[in-house]
């Protein structure tokens, strides 16, 4: 009967095996690794762990929450400045919020800022703004006294590209809250984008000159001044619309 190995003999044998390159120890009985692999239960396809995806953010819902939380025009402007879900903001130079006299009887809503508006940070700037000022003066209105101006989009679309429906839907809650806080008596919608946001329809050539109702206000669609610069034949119809606006203000007074 073999005697048990003493400490020193066992250590010497272990060192000898290490010198031979042994890196693993083995047991007294052989182990069938293939048999062990077969005993491991395989996960079924329908038992795969569910991947939890982050909830998609609804930008329109976020806009509605931010707009409702605004208690005044300064806080509404701050809400727009902090709104990060509209890609137009990244390419714009300035936020175009408003111009004119808050609380005026007439609130004019344009489509989207152009290059001049983006630089100045106010709606209806440049040549188009100058023409609008002359049009308003013809019926004794002035942006610094009795007119308030804004636009559907507060940021300029890149290269003045056509306004997208998704951007209109995203900004409409802010626009509606803007109207509620400014409290005008009448709204003038200058352009298709403004008509789509407020009235839910387009076709400014067909809609212009007809008084409609939206958001609890009388609404008058008009051709925007930038279009009149390239199509001066439309100035006759624009003059008729201005006279209609003057008459409406007289009736409401």
**CA atoms of 166 and 11, how far apart (whole Å):** 78
The mean per-residue pLDDT over the stretch 103-117 comes to: 97
- For the segment 139-187, what is each residue's pLDDT rounded down to a tens digit? 999 999 999 999 999 999 998 788 999 999 999 999 999 999 999 999 9
> Model-level pTM?
0.78
CA distances, 233 to each of 236, 238, 246 (Å): 7, 10, 22
User: Confidence band (pLDDT; 50, 70, 90) for 1?
Assistant: very low
The more confidently predicted of residues 160 and 79 is: 79
pLDDT exceeding 90 applies to what percent of the chain? 75
- Res. 124: pLDDT tops 60: yes
Full strand arrangement of the beta sheet holding 147-151: 99-100, 147-151, 106-110, 186-190, 217-222, 212-214
Assess contact for 119 and 226: CB atoms under 8 A.
no
- Res. 2: pLDDT tops 60: no
Residue 52: the pLDDT is 66
- Structural domains in the chain, CATH included, are 59-252 (3.40.470.10)
- For the segment 183-224, what is each residue's pLDDT rounded down to a tens digit? 999 999 999 999 999 999 999 999 999 999 999 999 999 999
């Amino acid at each position: 009967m073999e005697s048990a190995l003493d400490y020193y003999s066992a250590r010497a044998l272990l060192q000898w095996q290490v010198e031979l390159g042994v890196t693993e120890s083995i047991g007294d009985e052989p182990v069938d690794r293939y048999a062990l692999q077969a005993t491991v239960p395989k996960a079924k396809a329908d038992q795969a762990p569910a991947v939890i995806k982050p909830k998609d953010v609804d930008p329109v819902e976020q806009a509605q929450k931010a707009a409702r939380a605004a208690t005044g025009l300064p806080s509404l402007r701050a809400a727009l400045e902090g709104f990060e879900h509209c890609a137009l903001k990244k390419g714009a130079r300035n936020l175009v919020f408003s111009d004119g006299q808050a609380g005026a009887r007439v609130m004019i809503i344009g489509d989207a800022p152009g290059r001049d508006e983006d630089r100045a940070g106010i709606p209806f700037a440049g040549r188009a703004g100058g023409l609008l000022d002359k049009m308003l003066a013809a019926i004794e209105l002035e942006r610094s006294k009795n007119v308030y101006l804004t636009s559907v989009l507060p940021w300029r679309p890149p290269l003045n590209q056509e306004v997208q429906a998704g951007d209109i839907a995203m900004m409409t809650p802010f626009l509606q809250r803007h109207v509620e806080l400014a409290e005008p008596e009448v709204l003038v919608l200058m352009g298709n984008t403004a008509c789509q946001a407020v009235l839910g329809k387009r076709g400014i050539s067909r809609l212009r000159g007809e008084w409609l109702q939206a958001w609890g206000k009388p609404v008058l669609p008009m051709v925007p001044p930038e279009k009149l610069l390239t199509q001066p034949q439309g100035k006759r119809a624009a003059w008729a619309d201005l006279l209609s606006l003057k008459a409406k203000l007289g009736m409401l007074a």
